[in-house]
Structure 1
Amino acid sequence: MKKKLNPNYHKRLRGEASKSWSDLPFDLLNLVFERLSFADFQRAKSVCSSWRSSSRQCVPKNHIPWVLRFPQNNENSSCMLFNPEEKDKLYKTQDLGLEFAKSSCMKTYGSWLLMQNLQSNLFIVNLFTGERINLPPVESQFGMTKIQSPVFWIDEKTKDHVVSWARSKKCVVYSKTGDNSWNKIPKSSGCLDMVYKDHKLYFSSYSGKVKIFDFSGEIPQQIVIDTTRKSTACRQPSLSCEEKHIVPPLVILKPIDYSVHWPSIDATNIVVTVTGDVLKVVKVWTYWSRSWSFRLYKVYSLGFKQHEQVYSLGDEAMLLDLGITVLANDNDGIRRNSIYFSDCKNTNKVFHFSFETRKMERLHKFDCSSVQLSSSQWFLPSNSLRHD
């Protein structure tokens, strides 16, 4: 004989199930939050006050880069965001104010942007919360000067920060939390590119030298690089005969600029890998195919100066705009052994280059007819929203 159920049984089950969502053990919530992407993490913490409270103690995976797209007109103070895990979907940020609309983004770190206003002064702003940190004035100390290769770091909890940039080719300056002016780093002229990671400033000069400055103390200290290890490849990167697409001479009345047909070096950057190796990245433009290719050279590893060509990134992906590599998972929307970058000449476009296929492709063509966009940058969203 079947057991007769209480008529209120299903209602009681629904009530208990509803209640259980907010009463899940903290350890179990931790396991859930740690497996969520940045976007899903923000959605999950909105379920209830209990989940929001638990989320503040969790660190979800955040190694998936997003694309930040800036408006073209100065009256639009919001940005568009694209998450590779959610194809064909764009998000819009909150209104970040009039000064943001009239400023240009110099660099990103997590969910923070380093901005330069019309007076050439710098400030840091959080993309999601709108929180702002003013930096020492640039114009009053240096006059109208060109800011090159800017980098910065900020602690999400304490808001301690470091900002550094190059005064053209003259020197590199920096400012830390509490500074009222910019400080000069000795022997830092001729800066080509910089990366800041793990409290270290990686500096590359036009002469090919790589220097590392330790910022963990009160005053930056240069780290001595051992140059006794012999390089496996001492030759500077040059275009091979095969790549040059040699054209036989022609008898003509006026000269032809063959540089438009041959591959040419478009830019040289440095990138710090997950393990702390320093790579020199040579970006090559080929006119006839209208595409970029890349050559990588390891110039520093484990305290030693090196110069050997690298042909694969393995399980890492390079975010050239940020100067770093991240562990990649093809299933998460970012492909391993690849370079993600934006076009500095047409900054509304973002690209992907695969070392496996040696081919470049443009990523994610959106219908943005309602919003005119001027530039795009890759960035790694941080979890600063969990501290609200």
Structure 2
Amino acid sequence: MEIEEKQNPNSHERLRRVTPKSWSELPLDLLSSVFECLSFANFNRAKSVCSSWYSASRQSVPTNQIHWLILFPEENNDNNSCTLFNPDEKDKLYKTQDVGEEFAKSICRATYGSWLLMQDPLFTLYIVNLFTRERINLLPVELLWEGYELGVSSRKGRMKSRGGYVRSPVFWIDEKTKDYVVLWGLRDWCVFYSKKGDTSWNQIPQTPDCFDMVYKDHKLYFIGYFHSFKIFDLSGEIPQQIFEWSVFVDRSSLRGRGVWATTLVVTLTGKSLKVERVKRDCCFQVFDISSGRRINSLGDESILLDQGITVSANDTNGFIRNSIYFNNAYQKHATDMFIFNLETRKTEPLHTFDSFSFQFSRAQWFVPSFTLT
């Protein structure tokens, strides 16, 4: 049986009417779908094409969020702008506008999205958005120091600077409501936290020996000096401890080599890892906290060591799978950022930056936010 295809004489006319004459006439739902797949850099480029694309960008929430590196200006540098590096665009660097002298003299202690937790030379803490410059001043911490110093000065002798006692600060902030929580620890006391609306710093008494912390998905992951590992749920008014474990790892493979530094890391799936950097070698060992066993593969993930997290690593975001990204802050005159591959056990530079322009001990990973303006 032969089937004859019949043409509607009006179909060509309808097709002519719905076919866009230019890229600016693409349907809004199609444009929105495209914008949701774009990276931060391409998103901002695309929304500048025309008014219709800009309108589509305002109705899109991209899911392709990739960590960038922010390199802070050196002290006593006349240029107070920051340099931004996108791993997906290895041959391109971006510069921010002048961030101001106060910002340039402050130290970034943690990041969340495009928000930075800064500490000025007087050890005052504040949160600031890198792009919008919106600032939130935090509660002063001076009231805590008197009691703390009275308790430790007699047995420790000469006191260190107050800023040296602020350990592993972490924070979270809601981009729309500006609700936030900031946490930091004192080694011999406990972890302190403050939320939006609080009039004083609050204590988490179950944390007397803070060594390192990670904040992820409204949970605080805590590891102490004496092998204690705890998880606190911060979704309510008061932090609730929901998990506790004693950490013991198999270091037989070290063969007499000591550990230079230890970092707590939380994976994309919520697994907790202990990462140790070995002395005399630019290499790392990774352990599963729950089992104490050494891990030789991260799969399709990579560790951002100073963030204490893993990120997805694939061909589209520029990160190399099964690797650890770290800076050489443990060495004086550090001049680069590095990648340690767990499979090959080799280290290579992330990028050949101009060592005369950047101070790499002040580099931080962050996620550029898609703000609607």
1:71 and 1:297 map into 2 onto residues whose CA distance is 35
Confirm or deny that 1:142 pairs with 2:141: no
- The TM-score with structure 1 as length reference comes to 0.80
Match of 1:319 among 304, 313, 324: 304
Report the CA distance between 1:380 and its aligned residue: 3.3
1:225 and 1:199 map into 2 onto residues whose CA distance is 17
Per-residue CA deviations over 1:260-302 (Å, capped at 9, x if unaligned) read xxx431111111111111011111132xxxx4211111114xx
Contact in 2 for aligned 1:67/1:376 (Cα 8 Å)? no
1:309 and 1:210 map into 2 onto residues whose CA distance is 17
2:166 and 2:307 map into 1 onto residues whose CA distance is 17
SS of aligned partner of 1:94: coil
The letter of the residue matching 1:284 is V
Report the CA distance between 1:345 and its aligned residue: 2.6
Contact in 1 for aligned 2:117/2:126 (Cα 8 Å)? yes
Q: Higher mean Cα deviation, 117-126 or 375-384? A: 375-384
Report the CA distance between 1:101 and its aligned residue: 1.4
Report the CA distance between 1:178 and its aligned residue: 1.3
Unaligned runs of 5+ residues in structure 1 are 1-15, 245-262, 301-305
Contact in 1 for aligned 2:127/2:138 (Cα 8 Å)? yes
Confirm or deny that 1:97 pairs with 2:97: no
Per-residue CA deviations over 1:172-209 (Å, capped at 9, x if unaligned) read 10011111221111121111100000000000001111
**Within 5 Å, which residues of 2 pair with 1:1-388?**
17-18=21-22, 20-21=23-24, 23-74=25-76, 75-142=78-145, 144=162, 146-225=165-244, 235-241=249-255, 244=256, 263-286=257-280, 291-300=281-290, 306-346=291-331, 348-367=335-354, 369=356, 371-373=357-359, 375-385=361-371, 387-388=372-373
SS of aligned partner of 2:45: helix
Q: Higher mean Cα deviation, 329-338 or 266-275? A: 329-338
The letter of the residue matching 1:271 is V
Would the alpha carbon gap of residues 267 and 372 (structure 1) be closer, same or farther in structure 2, given more than 3 Å must change? closer
Report the CA distance between 1:66 and its aligned residue: 1.7
2:335 and 2:108 map into 1 onto residues whose CA distance is 13
Contact in 2 for aligned 1:170/1:190 (Cα 8 Å)? yes
Q: Higher mean Cα deviation, 199-208 or 330-339? A: 330-339
Contact in 2 for aligned 1:67/1:378 (Cα 8 Å)? yes
Q: Higher mean Cα deviation, 139-148 or 197-206? A: 139-148
Would the alpha carbon gap of residues 375 and 111 (structure 1) be closer, same or farther in structure 2, given more than 3 Å must change? same
SS of aligned partner of 1:158: coil
Report the CA distance between 1:138 and its aligned residue: 1.5
Per-residue CA deviations over 1:161-180 (Å, capped at 9, x if unaligned) read 11100123321100111112
1:328 and 1:377 map into 2 onto residues whose CA distance is 20
SS of aligned partner of 2:102: helix
Contact in 2 for aligned 1:271/1:280 (Cα 8 Å)? yes
**C-alpha RMSD over aligned residues:** 2.5
Q: Higher mean Cα deviation, 210-219 or 137-146? A: 137-146
SS of aligned partner of 1:53: helix
Unaligned runs of 5+ residues in structure 2 are 1-19, 147-161
2:91 and 2:171 map into 1 onto residues whose CA distance is 31
Report the CA distance between 1:94 and its aligned residue: 1.5
1:48 and 1:368 map into 2 onto residues whose CA distance is 39
Contact in 1 for aligned 2:73/2:81 (Cα 8 Å)? yes
The letter of the residue matching 2:251 is P
Would the alpha carbon gap of residues 361 and 30 (structure 1) be closer, same or farther in structure 2, given more than 3 Å must change? same
Would the alpha carbon gap of residues 201 and 235 (structure 1) be closer, same or farther in structure 2, given more than 3 Å must change? closer
Report the CA distance between 1:60 and its aligned residue: 2.5
SS of aligned partner of 1:274: coil
The letter of the residue matching 1:292 is C
1:88 and 1:368 map into 2 onto residues whose CA distance is 16
Contact in 1 for aligned 2:336/2:360 (Cα 8 Å)? no
SS of aligned partner of 1:224: strand
Contact in 1 for aligned 2:229/2:245 (Cα 8 Å)? no
SS of aligned partner of 1:307: coil
* Equivalent residue, structure 2, for 1:13: none
Contact in 2 for aligned 1:76/1:101 (Cα 8 Å)? no
The letter of the residue matching 1:296 is V
The letter of the residue matching 1:50 is S
2:302 and 2:228 map into 1 onto residues whose CA distance is 25
Per-residue CA deviations over 1:310-361 (Å, capped at 9, x if unaligned) read 1110011111111111111034311111111112234542110111211111
2:183 and 2:105 map into 1 onto residues whose CA distance is 22
Give me the identity figure in percent: 54
* Equivalent residue, structure 1, for 2:152: none
